[in-house]
Chains A and B, each alone.
Chain A
Amino acid sequence: MNGIEELAKLLKERENKQGYSPVFGTIIDLPGLQIHLGGKVILTEEHIVRCVSIDGRDEDGEYENLGKEAVLLPFADDQKFILIGVIIN
């Protein structure tokens, strides 16, 4: 490995990480939680850690949060997500 290549490797290792930000997805299934992140990604129970309960039902027995936007924080190299809430319209 020549010097320039070695330097390039060191710079590549120290590249700025992408900014950390929450992601949004649509709740498409309850109670077996499924969240559509847009595009090709559908998150299921195994990906999600819940901080809030979203299983509440209204007087007709329908899930209140079905179809709403959920707010998630990615962790573990984008393989897991913390569900921190649902957007109130």
Chain B
Amino acid sequence: MKLYADDMDITNAAGGLSWQNTISELATTMSFEVAKTDAKYMNIYQPDLGSIIRLYTNEEVFRGIVITMDDGAKNSNKYTAVDFGWYLNKSKETYQFNRMPAKKVIETVCADFDIGIDSISELIVEITKIYLDKTISEIISDVLTQCGGWYNFDMTPKGIRIYRIGDIYAYPEFRIFPNTRLIYSPGARGNVSHSISIEDTKNSVKAISGNEDGFSVLASAKDDALIGRYGLLQEVVSIDPEKEDPGAATQAKLLELSKIKEQFSFEIIESEDSYTRAGAVITIDGADFVIEGTQHSIVNGIYKVKLDLKRL
């Protein structure tokens, strides 16, 4: 593993390296320390604000820019670097799209801001919309929402990557010794925390429409098995019947709200040449989970990853 700042190798002077990403954040955030000295004739490269930081394992896995520096301590400076996803909510622009395919919309926006493209799923939904003074991240998120399904976007050293959740599977592995076989990391997980809750669950949904004649109930949907078990938990949603079908909308809403909230997190050890990121899907004991967040750290030469999961 190598860490570079402005093309200078700082691996030997750096410590406390950790980085994290989640599917609800735009950028991967990395923090590390670099040793410094006031001794004469000794020179350790000190990154500065704006320094380009790159992390290589078997390939480049992170490229970002230093945005915060804490240089108060005597013997080391602390740095925070973020990848280029950070810029996506810093710039605003106005756009109008008329029946343009979603993929082309994203390519147009990225081209205007010199954002490289790693990969984009085939998005064929046609976008007709005006964006007045919206940030790049708002535009991309809105386009992906219109495409339906569940898409995620993040940054790699090559550029932006847009994919459907479920297209990328993570398979972290590690070896106990260099000459032993690879072991599937979640099989040897530690610090497991798992909880389920019906705090936010609803098992009955009613759709209403408010117009000049007063309120009228358009459709309702309920899950009797869940009501029998947990009692009635009802949600009322307001729907415009001209825009969407009330029956289908209530069914979809019920499906979304009747899920039981599950939180699952644990730590694994991963070999340095594999990289598990938020947004990928991972199989644990036969069930698929989306990785909502990851925290990577290298402590005493051991690469540890904490995963936050959500059931798919």
Contact = CB atoms under 8 A, between A and B. Distances in A.
Contacts, number: 36
Interface string B241-259: 0000000000000000000
Contacts of B11: none
Tell me what chain A mostly uses at the interface: helix, strand, loop, or mixed: loop
A59 interface: no
A42 B96 CA distance: 8
Contacts of B94: 37-41
Interface stretch (A1-9, A50-58, A63-71): A1-9
Tell me what chain B mostly uses at the interface: helix, strand, loop, or mixed: strand
A78 B130 contact: yes
A41 B96 contact: yes
Contacts of A78: 130-132
A41 to B, nearest CB: 4
B129 A5 contact: no
A2 B130 contact: no
A2 B308 contact: yes
A23 B94 CA distance: 13
Residues of A in contact with B, size category: 10 to 19
Nearest to A47: B130
Contacts of A16: none
Contacts of A9: 24
Given A41-B94, A41-B96, A2 B132 contact: no
Interface string B49-65: 00000000000000000
Interface in A1-42: 1-2, 5, 9, 18, 23, 37-42
Interface of B: 22, 24-25, 94-96, 129-133, 263, 292-293, 308, 310
Q: Which 5 A-B pairs have the closest CB atoms?
A: A41-B96, A78-B132, A39-B94, A40-B96, A78-B130
Interface of A: 1-2, 5, 9, 18, 23, 37-43, 47, 74, 78-79
Given A2-B293, A43-B130, 18 more contacts: A1-B24, A1-B263, A1-B292, A2-B308, A5-B293, A9-B24, A23-B132, A38-B94, A39-B94, A40-B94, A40-B95, A41-B94, A41-B95, A41-B96, A41-B130, A47-B130, A74-B132, A79-B129
